[in-house]
Amino acid sequence: MFDKTSLEQLNVWLTRPESKHLEFKEAKNQFNSSKDLPDYCAALANEGGGKLILGITDKKVVCGTTAFFNSFNSLSNELLQKLGVRIDVEELFHPDGRLLIFHVPSRPVGKPVKSTGNYTYPMRAGESLVEMDAETLKRIFNETEADFSAKIVPNITLDDIDNMAVDNFKQRWAQKQQRDEYAAYSKEKVLRSIGLLDDDGLTYAALILFGKKEKIDRLLPDSEIIFEWRQDPKKIAHDFRKNWRSPFFSIFDDIWESINARNIRFPYQDGLFQYEVYAFSEKPIREALLNAIAHRDYSIKGQSIFIKVSSEEFSIESPGGFPQGVTIENILVKSVWRNRSIAEVLEKAGLVERSGQGMDDIFRKTISEGKGIPNFRGTDSFTVRLNIPSQVKDPKFILFLEKIIREQQVSFSFEEILELEQIRQNQKLSFSEFKNKFLENGIIEKIGKTKDAKYILSHKYYAHQGRVGLHTKLIGLPRDKYKELIIKHLERNKGYLRDLEDAIPELKTKNITNLLQELKKDGIIQHKGSRKSGYWCLK
């Protein structure tokens, strides 16, 4: 959150020349919100952040502005949607007029901010905006994030390391490596062996994972985890709240136990057998927490890891956008550690695997429990938010797959199960290489014969679910039945296209037109009048 601007601070800015970090605009009555505003904000972000101030002339005289007079509160969200960057907007009343101040943060490492205005990647050149040149873009994309967790912490000694946290790690480490002698190592030998202590001192990874609470409070207070529980997800006030600012290896189990204490059991019946699923499964929750610890940006001040849990969803927010090279589209296959030193210690304790991020385990478990697909709603360039559904939506989907696996003697990869879950949610078939396998085993079926054909789960699935009516609804009427419906309509009405669209809303206009052309070719109907205002009728 920005600090509110005082008139004294404004006067300081007015004594400075405009620069890559400070931009004044007169904008006495208005300012273009679709082109100029995103361009100038993106340019400031690309140059390392700064202030855009409306209501000041090029001679640095306060003239005031009426721009966005009744809508400035919505500008921050609008810019977030356009730029992927949170920009705080402040209204300041100066004796000589109203000002709007846009507090623009710096772009993330390795990621230029893209504008939706006149430029793609704007930057400053003197007093003007220009398109970012290829060399500058290349330099930004080639930036690498330094491993914050590997940096040496000043003014910290072995006396500032929590003995219980180290003991917890030693037990896990010895078990993972099958080396009983590790459990007898001294505190110093453990930290040196795992790379958190050398002749220069202790690292931030040592502080985060093993540092005493009072030392974390003083040196890295943002290394904190906050948990809120709401029975009703729509409530603003929480029903329970707890926060931890302690060495991670002393609180790891306590965080899970606090969530598990509010777990909800979902029983369901399949024939003679009773099954149960819990709202919060241990493995996905622990994996999500470990991801946040290993990937958050500890250099961001004033933000902590935030866990919000309700009867509908588990959400965890961590400061910092995705690590360089990771996107929502490739997160299941791309493995990048922002804090490698922390990740390596977690791997030595058997909590994570270096080869992956554990994200596929989170997706696999959530889908296999019939809860649907986790998502990253609320993620932007400065925050990653993982949302894991808590409620069981379709347990019979997985039971159906298990039946197919058993009867057909086939197996399915995680990618194939994810693809089938997306088809279950009526999304398009993304990977055509899976199509033949799904069709051969009777899991999906094709609707339509054109390039617009789609795939749905087969009749077998809906029969297993006991809801064959849903299958009938999805496949719709056969083409001949639609033609009969069109003919019946033309027996009593002129066939205007808009009326036929009302009569068959489940079909696209293009599909209706194709049916009409087929009927015309068969000599059953004809078109009268112009192409735009004409109508169809029986011959």
Q: Is residue 302 part of a domain?
A: yes
Cα–Cα separations (whole angstroms), residue 439 to 151, 404, 458: 54, 12, 9
The pLDDT assigned to 276 comes to 78
Identify whether residues 158 and 243 lie together within a single domain. Answer: yes
Same domain, yes or no: 117 and 192: no
The CA distance from 416 to 404, in Å, is 14
pLDDT of residue 101: 95
* Residue 91 lies inside a defined structural domain of this protein: yes
Q: Which of 141, 171, 206 finishes a domain? A: 141
Residues 6+ apart with CB under 8 A from 79: 37, 38, 41, 85, 86, 87
Q: Which amino acid is at 361?
A: D
pLDDT the model gives residue 376 = 93
Does 117 share its domain with 92? yes
What pLDDT shows up at residue 286? 95
Within a domain: 388 = no
Same domain, yes or no: 69 and 180:
no
What Å distances lie between residue 345 and 188, 190, 457, CA to CA? 15, 11, 44
Number of domains in the chain: 4
Question: For 102-162, where are the alpha helices, taking DSSP H only?
Answer: 134-141
Within a domain: residue 222?
Answer: yes
**Same domain, residue pair 304 and 434:** no
- Note down pLDDT in tens along the chain; length 539 residues: 567 899 999 999 999 888 888 999 999 999 999 999 999 999 999 998 999 999 999 899 999 999 999 888 999 999 999 998 889 999 999 999 999 999 999 888 778 999 999 999 999 887 789 999 988 888 887 776 788 999 999 989 999 999 999 999 999 999 999 999 999 999 999 999 999 999 999 999 999 999 999 999 999 999 999 999 998 888 889 999 999 999 999 999 999 999 999 998 887 666 655 667 889 999 999 999 999 999 999 988 889 999 999 999 999 999 988 887 788 888 887 777 789 999 999 999 999 875 555 788 899 889 888 888 899 999 987 899 999 999 888 777 777 888 888 888 888 887 888 888 888 887 777 777 788 888 888 888 887 666 667 788 888 877 877 777 777 666 666 778 888 889 989 998 999 988 888 888 878 888 899 889 999 999 999 999 888 889 999 98
Of 423, 438, 464, at which residue does a domain stop? 464
Give a yes or no: residue 474 inside a domain: no
Angle between helix 340-348 and 163-177 (nearest 10):
60
119: containing domain: 7-141
For 400, phi and psi rounded to 5 degrees?
-65, -45
pLDDT at 271: 60
Residues 306 and 189 in one domain: yes
DSSP assignment of 433-474 equals GGHHHHHHTTSEEEE-SSTT-EEEE-HHHHHHHT-HHHHHHH
Question: Does residue 386 lie within any of the structural domains?
Answer: no
Confirm if 46 and 122 have CB atoms less than 8 A apart: yes
Same domain, 399 and 459: yes
Beta bridge partners of 389: 313
Q: Is residue 390 part of a domain?
A: no
In this structure, are 516 and 459 located in the same domain? Answer: no
Which of 326, 355, 371 represents a domain boundary (last residue)? Answer: 371
Question: Which CATH number covers residue 514?
Answer: 1.10.10.10
Residue 479: the pLDDT is 76
- Is residue 68 domain-shared with residue 177, that is, in the same domain? no
Residues 452 and 514 in one domain: no
Look at the block and give the residue holding tokens 């100038």: 40
d(CA 67, CA 186): 65
CATH number for the domain including 38?
3.30.950.30
Residue tagged 């005493």 (tokens): 212
Cβ–Cβ < 8 Å for 342, 370: no
Looking at the fold, whether 407 and 288 belong to one and the same domain comes out as no
State residue 268's pLDDT score. 67
Same domain, 491 and 452: no
**18: DSSP letter:** P
The CATH number assigned to the domain holding 324 equals 3.30.565.60
The predicted model scores a pTM of 0.65
Query: Using an 8 Å Cβ cutoff, are 13 and 53 in contact?
Result: yes
| 385 within some domain | no
